[in-house]
């Protein structure tokens, strides 16, 4: 049985927390920032926990994570 490879694109976007949940980095902070409210930009800069609906898919992409 061969080893299961990690999807490298997912490994760069998600990380495992100490409690076993996946942390994701927020997007949309590259350009078109002038029309976004300061509070919205502050929230977009922070990381968040992966939703339970998507956790199975992330766990499948990161078998060793």
pLDDT (tens digit per residue) in 20-53: 999 998 877 889 999 999 999 998 889 999 999 9
Flag whether pLDDT at 64 surpasses 90.
no
Alpha carbon distance 2, 4 (integer Å): 6
Q: Which domains does the chain show, CATH number per domain? A: 8-61 (4.10.410.60)
Cβ–Cβ under 8 Å, residues 44 and 24: no
DSSP 1-65: -PPPPP-HHHHHHEEE-TTSPEEE-----SS--SSS-HHHHHHHHS-EEPPHHHHHHHHHH-TT-
pLDDT (0 to 100) of residue 28? 73
Handedness of CA 58, 18, 20, 54 (dihedral sign): negative
**What is the predicted pLDDT for the residue at 27?**
78
């Amino acid at each position: 049985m061969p080893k299961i490879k990690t999807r490298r694109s997912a490994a760069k976007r998600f990380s495992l927390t100490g409690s076993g949940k996946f942390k994701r980095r927020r997007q949309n902070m590259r350009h078109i920032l002038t029309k976004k409210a300061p509070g919205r930009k502050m929230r977009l800069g922070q990381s968040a926990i992966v939703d339970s609906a998507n956790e199975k898919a992330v766990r499948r992409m990161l078998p060793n994570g």
